Structure 1
Amino acid sequence: FQWRGPNLFQTTQSNFTINSLSPKNEGYYYVKATTATGCTNTDSVYVSVSPIPLANAGTSQTICAGNSVVLRGSGGEKYKWEPSANLSSDTIPQPTATPTDSTLYYLTVSNGSCSRMDSVMMNVLHLPKANAGKSFTIFEGDQVQLNGSAAGDDIQYFWTPNYNISNPNILDPFVYPTFDTTYVLHVISQQGCGESDSKTFIRVYNKISVPNAFSPNGDGINDFWEIKDLYTYPTADVSVFDRNGQMIFHSIGYGKPWDGTINEKPVPIGTYYYIINLKNGTPLRSGSVLVIR
């Protein structure tokens, strides 16, 4: 066998491989075959060399969740993007993508004969989300721990107002307001993806102080069972019982403090028992009070 072809190619092999093809190798290859008795014949084959596409999927980008981005593919005649979900088209060089999560896109570029692949990463930042947690009811002078939570990528968070709070820059600070206060948890994206707010309400009730004794003897000193700040609870239910469980005093609200009588007659000296229901969702208050004369 005698082969000859483009770029001064020659060989005597019947079968052969041309490595690292380039445009110089394109053209007709002719072979002349000769038998042992001297008989000959010729034939030819045409080798077409197509250039490899310069596939380019573009550069990585970062977007906020819910936004769109244009993919910048180039380098060929035909295009195929994968995955195709959330793309305006998967067969054009520059489709619009609206990914819900960070996605690595693969681009296959073809020129009809050859193809090449490239990839590009689209990073999706999840939006900030704030949850201030449940509301609380406390008495003045008490404290409660907030239980906020935050979500999102590259975020910072803080509470407002910066009032009677142990640390406004953590999710679970202790607060001890002396009056009704709404605390707001702010969660902010550091990448310009917005802000989320959430509120929790702290209801602060006046703390009542229940005396454990009084002396209704008409001397003008401690003649009444004075319960400080109970007047601020107009629906409070106050009941007093003797040691046998008989109710000897009952009041809705406490506009008129107990004077140590039952049916306008003085009760005997001794220990009596009370139950106070503030009717605001807080636990019942109970205890004993000593009547002395």
Structure 2
Amino acid sequence: MVRRVLKVLVVVLFCQSAYAQVTSDCGSAVPICNNTPINGGANGFGSDDFNGANSSGCLERSLSGVIESNSGWYRFRTMAAGQLGFNIGHDSSEDWDFALYRASDCNNLGDPVRCNFFDNSENKSFIGVGEDPTGDENSVHYEDWLDVNAGEDYFLLINNFSNVNSGFSIQFTGNVFSTNPTDALDCSIVNNLLGSPIAACEGDAITLDATMIGATSYTWYSDAGSGFQVIAGEVNPTLNVIGSAIYRVLVTTATGSIISDVQVAFNPVPTTGMLIDETLCHVSGMIIDLTTKDTEAIGAQNPNDFLVSYHNSQTDANSGTNPLLKQYPKSSGQEVIYVRTASLSNPNCYDASQSFTIDAIETPELTFSENETVCDGATITIGETIPNPSYTYQWSTGELTPSLVVSQEGAYELTVTHSSGGVNCSASRTVNVSISEVPVISVDVDFRDLSPSNTVTITNEAEGDFEYSLNGGPYQTSSVFNEVPGGTHTISARDAFGCGVVTESFVVVGFPPIFSPNGDVLNESWQIEGLSVLNTPIVTIYDRYGKLIKQLTEFNSGWDGSFNGKPLPSTDYWFKLSYLDNDGNRVNAKHLKNHFSLRR
């Protein structure tokens, strides 16, 4: 998900030595307009704003024995409707909490509408409402966005759980500042001649204006941490300031004097270091970790003070909008990435002067099969049949061609390389070639007594995947054919790759496997059904010693079990079936079960 970048209206400097406009009591909460007060570190909690309570929302008693420990109170009023959030920045080694109350009176705060009391064992630098500016979408230190309407009053308590703190910053965010960039927060609550505290970037021209009708003189003071000192020579109603401090003006009129204070803080503007161009090999689904470039951008500067973001255009980098995902899905090709380095305390202090190029060289995607079968005695072409002219090809056998013609089984490895800018992107694949075996078949006819139609099963002594065809019909993977009529037939077998076709002929006829010529009128003779479909068939019957016993034709197709008028004993007998083929040659029927039993 692309993190939303929203206009930031509030900045605070981490500077414990600078005196700050901060109050530890709700009753004197510092009003926030469209600028943010700069806090130099909370010290103590003043009076107990919770009157000894054990908790307020998620807040519990701190090490001080009450809810507050080192607290700062702020108040603001909304002038527009929308989504509002804020980031409270602090040193990552410190533990800060907050509670936000929708209330117009410190005596009736009620329960907080947003609250966070987690310790900082993860060493995070931000707590708040909305989205962590560092991009951590799962931070437990952030509460959901707040939907506000115009005219709502809020009190914000920021509390340091321990006694070690170096200050905090407040940065307001949310789409309410996109729709109302200058008046999202009501400035009328700030009753001060010099206005709200001012956050600026080093080098900004900041002018304080104390002009009053009827003023007779102006005296300017500054406090950089050691008390107010008169600024010599500054007697005009305006003052140009260049350093962080609390500034005071004493305006003298004919009726009296007015004193007004304002805090001005300057944040340093980062300098983005030069980033090295990246050339790498691209693969499908590639993700580039842009955080690895952060150290180049920040250089010797403190990485805890700055946030680096990456953009597709200079315009986006300048505005800080549409940042790229740090885990950036990169397509192949070259593109320029624009870099923005911004102050975490004041995102308006930034440098977007640098960019770098990512050249993702396409790694070849291999499309040819890893397994091929070649017919015995034939050849096959393996590898890339549609080569890319920008690539180079090399086989493990030494050939430098995209494809290879082979006739022997074995493993053939092809390496394909795409070279650009001194970078070689390669992909390899091994093609395993095997030789297809020729089928070795026999035909087994499953005879049903005297039935002219039978089940034919093909047996194959070779290993592999084979297909079978009966009488030139379509090939099937099953080796069983049902309801095969009597007569001569041909069976063809081939492997699944169309190699090594073998064709055999066979005869289907019907005969009883057992007969019993014992005078009971059942099975008194042995005969063959279906001879009439053959051309001049002759059946020759033998005993186990090969002695000719009987010869049958289509006109004399039965045997009563006798030889020369004498009954033969119960045993097995064998027979041969011959017929004239289409060329007029007498042939013996193959693949025919050629024995039967005589039982007395």
Q: TM-score range by the shorter chain?
A: 0.3 to 0.5
Which has the greater radius of gyration?
2
TM-score by length of 2: 0.24
